[in-house]
């Protein structure tokens, strides 16, 4: 049986993206609303531009063009005919690449064409990541004090599952820039992945001034909640939210995490108010948190601003809840491409691919990708086994299932695994062993009141019995259909219909066999 994580808890764990992607997302913008004006003799700047134009008119060439374009671009002067001529001159002659870029920028700035900020994340690629590590290492040999690249190196290493090396790299970055938002939020993400929430909390709260930054304060609240330590006050965070010194965008994650904490404390009214603040100009992570909170009874109306950003996670959850599995999987794969080291999207994607769409190849790839950075995640490996077994890759499924460290008896994971083991046993020809495992799993799920999961496990079991044409098939199918009538999830209804179709197909193909099944 394949599974997703329980939706009991969700925190505003920072996303971890490569520097360029993080910048484009806007999460590395300055949180201050007022800028310090730099005083200058403005006449000097204007005179410089005019002088550069005269010089170009007198003696047009590469260097006079460069000076003029530098003055135009950096001084934000409107491009007149002379400057445009200089830019075109540079583009037409054999000029250095940087100068051509400057000319292009001058013309683009003037026409108002900007950069595309909405690139979709590209699919994870092992070779490309390995190449990136090589490239980053060569940069860091030249620039050992570049904390940004140490952080990017750590991310690339995590993607390849080199967690020890990644921890070394992030430590170097934190040492160089112990107050930087990009570095610290990345470090927190890594330490949480390494299951070291205390370390994550220490890193972010080491300098008290870090809490002045709403993004870092939000992260500190998250690490405090996960590690169970006190130290970051919700009350002072509320004051930051109400101070009016930061724009809604910069407060979104803080408000979202405070809402989550208010929800913990049972203060639904205040939680709703905070979630509303979070959604004025939300980050995609806040949108995902709101989607999660909505499933916990905390609905806060999303403002129009929320539509400006896309949250792959929020979309995946909402599509799945509505039974739109193809769209859900598409969103989930983008979420996975965005956070390839995170087990959650890999688990979600493998589940949706298998259960929603019977796309076992996609499920296999998603689970395998998640396992690179999370080799001990039993749920991920379980989903991989399920995908392999359903593709007839029984030997590989057995190899994978043998690698799973047995979770605590009676846990959700152990029951899921029991059912999956049942599936593999069926494929291996051990129907008797498979049956007892499936029966035990279904019983326990029913006892725990997890009707949806029980129904799913029962349907999978019934399908295997039908495939093998056993005398138990009819009874088990009947039981599965009865259970599924009490279930609510779309995927259970989908599978129950598939089971009915299976039964009908067999019935029409071989009435004798059908009567046997009955």
Partner 1 sequence: MITTNPAEDLENEVLPNGWTVTERIVPRPGDTGGNFSVNYWAVHSSGRRGFCKVLNYWWLLTSGAIGSDPLHALAEASRIYEFERDLARDCRSLSRVITTIEDGTLNRAGYLISMVHYIIFEVAEGDIRRVMDYSSDLDSAAKLRIVHNLASGLRQLHGIEVAHQDIKPSNTLVFPPHLGAERVTKVGDLGRATVLGRPADHDNFDVAGDRTYAPIDALYGSIPSEFAARRYACDLYQLGSMIAFVFTSVPINAYMTLELHPRHHWDNWHGTYQDVYPYVLDAYGRVLDRVSQEVPEGIREEITKLISCLCHPDVSQRGHAVTLRRSGNKYALDRIVTEIDLLSRRVRLFEKV
- For partner 1, the closer of residues 44 and 409 by Cβ is 44
- For partner 1, the closer of residues 19 and 270 by Cβ is 19
- For partner 1, the closer of residues 33 and 447 by Cβ is 33
End-to-end CA distance of the chain: 25
Cβ partners under 8 Å of residue 146, min gap 6: 139, 140, 176
- For partner 1, the closer of residues 76 and 269 by Cβ is 76
- C-beta atoms surrounding 299 within 10 Å: 12
Q: If we measure between CA atoms, which residue out of 174, 132, 180 comes closest to residue 152?
A: 132
Shortest approach of partner 1 to residue 134 CB, angstroms?
16
Shortest approach of partner 1 to residue 80 CB, angstroms?
12
Angle (CA) 471-474-480 rounded to 5° is 130
- The helix (run of H) or strand (run of E) holding residue 108 is helix 97-111
DSSP result, 413-456: HHHHHHHHHHHHHHHHT-HHHHHHHHHHHHHHHHHTT-HHHHHH
Q: If we measure between CA atoms, which residue out of 293, 333, 283 comes closest to residue 312?
A: 333
Shortest approach of partner 1 to residue 433 CB, angstroms?
57
Q: If we measure between CA atoms, which residue out of 178, 176, 204, 182 comes closest to residue 191?
A: 204
Shortest approach of partner 1 to residue 43 CB, angstroms?
7
Shortest approach of partner 1 to residue 220 CB, angstroms?
17
- For partner 1, the closer of residues 53 and 238 by Cβ is 53
Shortest approach of partner 1 to residue 73 CB, angstroms?
6
Shortest approach of partner 1 to residue 62 CB, angstroms?
5
Phi and psi angles of residue 38, each rounded to the nearest 5 degrees, phi first: -95, 120
Q: Any idea how long the chain is?
A: 518
- For partner 1, the closer of residues 62 and 194 by Cβ is 62
- For partner 1, the closer of residues 64 and 344 by Cβ is 64
Distance separating alpha carbons of residues 125 and 127, to the nearest angstrom = 6
């Amino acid at each position: 049986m394949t599974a997703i994580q329980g939706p009991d808890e969700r925190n505003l764990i920072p996303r971890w993206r490569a520097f360029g992607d993080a910048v484009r997302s806007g999460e590395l913008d300055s949180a201050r609303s007022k800028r310090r004006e730099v005083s200058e003799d403005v006449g000097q700047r204007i005179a410089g531009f005019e002088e550069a134009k005269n010089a170009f008119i007198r003696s047009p060439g590469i260097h006079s063009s460069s000076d003029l374009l530098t003055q135009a671009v950096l001084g934000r002067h409107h491009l007149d005919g002379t400057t445009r001529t200089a830019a075109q001159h540079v583009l037409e002659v054999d000029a250095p690449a940087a100068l051509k870029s400057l000319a292009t920028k001058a013309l683009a700035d003037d026409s108002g064409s900007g950069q595309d900020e909405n690139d979709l994340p590209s699919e994870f690629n092992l070779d490309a990541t390995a190449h990136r590590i090589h490239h980053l290492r060569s940069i860091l040999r030249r620039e050992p004090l570049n904390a940004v690249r140490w952080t990017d190196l750590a991310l690339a290493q995590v993607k390849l599952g080199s967690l020890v090396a990644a921890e070394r790299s992030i430590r170097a970055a934190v040492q160089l820039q112990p107050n930087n938002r990009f570095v610290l939020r990345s470090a927190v993400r890594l330490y949480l992945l390494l299951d070291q929430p205390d370390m994550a909390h220490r890193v972010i709260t080491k300098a008290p001034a870090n809490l002045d930054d709403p993004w870092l304060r939000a992260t500190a609240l998250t690490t405090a909640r996960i590690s169970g330590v006190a130290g970051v006050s919700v009350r002072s965070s509320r004051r930051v939210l109400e101070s009016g010194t930061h724009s809604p965008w910069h407060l979104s994650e803080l408000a979202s995490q405070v809402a989550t904490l208010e929800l913990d404390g049972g203060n639904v009214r205040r939680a709703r108010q905070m979630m509303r603040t979070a959604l004025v100009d939300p980050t995609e992570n806040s949108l995902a948190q709101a989607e999660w909170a909505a499933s916990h009874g905390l609905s806060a109306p999303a403002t129009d601003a929320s539509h400006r950003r896309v949250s792959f996670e929020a979309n995946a959850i909402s599509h799945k809840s509505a039974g739109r599995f193809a769209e859900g999987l598409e969103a989930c794969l983008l979420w996975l491409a965005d956070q390839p080291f995170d087990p959650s999207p890999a688990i979600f994607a493998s589940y949706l691919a298998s259960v929603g769409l019977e796309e076992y190849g996609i499920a296999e790839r998603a689970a395998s990708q998640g396992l690179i950075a999370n080799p001990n995640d039993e749920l991920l490996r379980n989903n991989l086994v399920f995908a392999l077994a359903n593709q007839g890759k029984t030997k590989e499924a057995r190899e994978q299932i043998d690698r799973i460290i047995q979770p605590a008896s009676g846990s959700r994971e152990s029951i899921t695994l029991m059912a999956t083991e049942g599936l593999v046993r069926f494929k291996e020809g051990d129907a008797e062993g498979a049956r007892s495992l499936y029966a035990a799993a279904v019983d326990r799920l029913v006892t725990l009141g997890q009707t949806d999961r029980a129904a799913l496990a029962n349907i999978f079991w019934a399908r295997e019995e039908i495939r093998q044409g056993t005398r138990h098939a009819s009874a088990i199918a009947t039981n599965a259909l009865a259970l599924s009538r009490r279930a609510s999830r779309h995927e259970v209804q989908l599978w129950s219909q598939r089971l009915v179709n299976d039964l009908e197909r067999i019935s029409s193909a071989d009435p004798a066999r059908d009567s046997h099944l009955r």
